[in-house]
Amino acid sequence: MPHLFLQRLATTSANQLVRRRGHIYNAARYHHVLSTQKKAIPHLITLADLSQSQIYNLLRSAIQHKYNAKYAGKGSGEPLKGKTLALTFSKRSTRTRVATESATAYLGGTPMFLGSQDIQLGVNESLLDTAKVISSMADGIMARVGPHSDIEVLAKYSSVPIINALSDKYHPTQILADLMTMHEVFGPHSDTDSEYISHLHHPKDFLPGLKVAWIGDGNNMLHSMLVTFPKLGIHFSAATPKNYQPDADVVEIAKKEAKNSGSELSFTTAPKEAVKDADIIVTDTWISMGQESEKLQRLKDFAGFQVTMSLAEQGGAKPDWKFMHCLPRKSEEVDDEVFYSPRSVVFEEAENRKWTILAVIDALLVKKSFD
């Protein structure tokens, strides 16, 4: 049957195929044949899909854009003039939305925010239909979803690039901002706020060999770090409570990348063990709005996981260790002494969301490639 179908495809239009018996069967295979013939559309679904050099290309682009716009006063040339980036968000957002809208505007494009109350993202209309409709009118889609399968469906059926603004499994644009911040902090930098020199140095000369310690939940942030940091030669240790470990398939990717790069990778349930020799200690929200009903149990399970000066000192973190958090933050995760201290780079990290998202938009909508 498939062979007969392919023979007919050469002389039969799509409309004719649809009208014949076996409508669903024929339409699906017609779409499959056409999709395999057209050029693949680049997306950013997870950094696990990108090579080491592609990740560095995004970081260098973000750093250069930051220098150009913030310090040199240079415009972008508006390469996205007349183009539209749709922001389809099923969840509320502060940093991602502001970063994406301002980045798109800097490139001369028009950001179109489509919240859960604005469109039917998987409600009364399939994700397939939504992907086809929006991608027929916009030049790119930045999507914040729930299940990771949603972003995969959008990418499968969209005719324009899809950027994962967050799913329950990965948060790739946040990790790019973390890496950019790490380069600015641990690479050469000026002692004055008015001078910026990070763009003069390659991140590959300063990121490998750093150690990052994760203290928290086995969530999308941890997953994103696991598929990215070992790939770049960054040592990584993760402390999660029992029964809150990261997904097994993500751990396997991390182990493979660590073996390839020679980086160290470890997992524990003891925060003090994880922070030993750490350059960066990072955590994330482990009681989110959707988990309020579980709050008492989580507070019990995460006892001892609050990031404090005492934890870092007793665990033996590096003397100049820094703290990162993707925000929003709750005091149960990190106390005020750490969060508002000179060790904290959370607000620099938040700003860098704009520059790294800008670099991703530039790569996908302007350059059409991560290379």
Provide DSSP, 79-117: TTTT-EEEEEESS--SHHHHHHHHHHHHTT-EEEEEETT
Confidence of residue 120 (pLDDT cuts 50, 70, 90): low
Q: Which two structure tokens, joined as six digits, stand for 267?
A: 């997992």
Choose the catalytic residue: 326, 346, 361, 365.
Answer: 326
Confidence of residue 290 (pLDDT cuts 50, 70, 90): low
Q: Are strands 211-215 and 110-115 parallel, antiparallel or unpaired?
A: unpaired
C-beta atoms surrounding 285 within 10 Å: 19
Q: How far is CA 98 from CA 8, 14, 103, 120, in A?
A: 50, 42, 8, 22
Cα-based angle 224, 65, 189 (whole degrees, multiple of 5): 80
Segment 271-278 shows an average pLDDT of 98
Q: In this structure, what is the dihedral angle of CA atoms 77, 83, 88, 94, given to the nearest 10 degrees?
A: 20
**Per-residue pLDDT tens for 129-151?**
889 999 999 999 999 999 999 99
Please name every residue paired with 307 in a beta bridge, in sequence order, or none if there are none: 334
Q: According to the model, what pLDDT value does residue 95 have?
A: 92
**Per-residue pLDDT tens for 159-196?**
999 999 999 999 999 999 999 999 999 999 887 777 99
Confidence of residue 293 (pLDDT cuts 50, 70, 90): confident
Q: According to the model, what pLDDT value does residue 39 have?
A: 64
Q: According to the model, what pLDDT value does residue 4 have?
A: 40
Look up 326 and say whether it is catalytic. yes
Cβ pair 331, 285 in contact under 8 A:
no
Per-residue pLDDT at 35 exceeds 60: no
Per-residue pLDDT at 336 exceeds 90: yes
Nearest-angstrom CA–CA distance, 357 and 98: 11
Q: According to the model, what pLDDT value does residue 231 have?
A: 98
- What's the whole-model pTM score? 0.88
